[in-house]
Structure 1
Amino acid sequence: MSERSNMVGDLAPVVGYHLRRASGVFAADFAAAMEGTGMRQVLIGILAVVSGSPGINQGAVGRVLGIKRANMVSLINELVDADLIERVVDTADRRAFALTVTPSGATLLAACLRKIETHEDRLLAGFTAAEKNMLLDFLGRIERRGAPPA
């Protein structure tokens, strides 16, 4: 057991504690990597989903990313106002909006993805490709379990 494990006492074997600490490290480094882009993780996620599914509606984007409907409107407005996403009335459902990434949105997304790759390479430098894949598998298993009942 490491000296740090001794310092956290009963938290040493608690997976959630370590996930939260690792998440904090990732979040801080991510914010530093994105400095100057004007982008946050949630906005990059929306751009990536829309880029991968042109014409998708904002409700579907919210479901994919786990963003509440009430929050999606302001996030999409932010991206539209920045000319990163175009929003048009969906021809199949006139009550919905179809979203597409603009050329400037595609350029910014590509730049952000390069920065994310560098950020992850830095934080996962001690991991082999197999370990990284294993970590993704483990985290995916947790994600698929979903949130506990309220």
Structure 2
Amino acid sequence: MASDDGATPRLGVLDELVGYHMRRASAVIATDFSRATAGTGMRQVLFGVLSIIEANPGINQGAVGRALGIQRANMVSLVNELDERGLIARRTASDDRRAFSLTLTPAGQRILADSLARLRQHEDDVLSNLSGTERATLILLLSRIEARSN
């Protein structure tokens, strides 16, 4: 039982559960992401979509959605939002007239570069107690967990 003297209560079995710690760490990172990108209108999912498009000019929206694990209906609304904001250009794909190929506009390139600079600082702040090797190990371990879902 927790004490009323202000001491932090023991976590019990939560201390041993990876999922609990991942959820808490994710919440810390998401909150700081929002702080870091305040005023840009950028959200994690939009940053992810822009990043994939930048790395793969001309990619179709279905492939972007698969890469990020985004459902088709949700991907359509994200692409519409980015298009309306002038951050991407979509054209009918040459190899499939039913699909759109996506590229960043100059405005999309600028907001992605600005967001990336902010996010690098955000990660440096949030992960300041980890060495470069520990960060690389963390990414490797998280990637191995992610790979199980594919």
5+ residue gaps in structure 2? Answer: 1-6
Instruction: Give, in whole Å, the separation in 2 of the partners of 1:50 and 1:135.
Output: 25
Give the match for residue 132 of structure 2. Answer: 129
The CA deviation at 1:136 is 0.7
Counterpart check, 1:70 vs 2:79: no
The CA deviation at 1:97 is 0.5
Give the match for residue 37 of structure 1. Answer: 40
The aligned amino acid for 2:86 is D
Q: How many residues align?
A: 144
The CA deviation at 1:81 is 0.2
Give the match for residue 89 of structure 1. Answer: 92
Counterpart check, 1:8 vs 2:47: no
Counterpart check, 1:60 vs 2:63: yes
The CA deviation at 1:108 is 0.5
TM-score (ref. length: structure 2): 0.93
The aligned amino acid for 1:81 is E
Q: Name the % identity.
A: 52
Counterpart check, 1:144 vs 2:131: no
Secondary structure of residue in 1 paired with 2:42? coil
Secondary structure of residue in 1 paired with 2:141? helix
Instruction: Give, in whole Å, the separation in 1 of the partners of 2:118 and 2:53.
Output: 19
Secondary structure of residue in 1 paired with 2:10? helix
The CA deviation at 1:9 is 1.3
Instruction: Give, in whole Å, the separation in 2 of the partners of 1:40 and 1:59.
Output: 20
Counterpart check, 1:47 vs 2:60: no
The aligned amino acid for 1:78 is E
The aligned amino acid for 1:110 is A
Instruction: Give, in whole Å, the separation in 2 of the partners of 1:71 and 1:23.
Output: 22
5+ residue gaps in structure 1? Answer: none
Secondary structure of residue in 2 paired with 1:100? strand
RMSD between aligned alpha carbons?
1.2
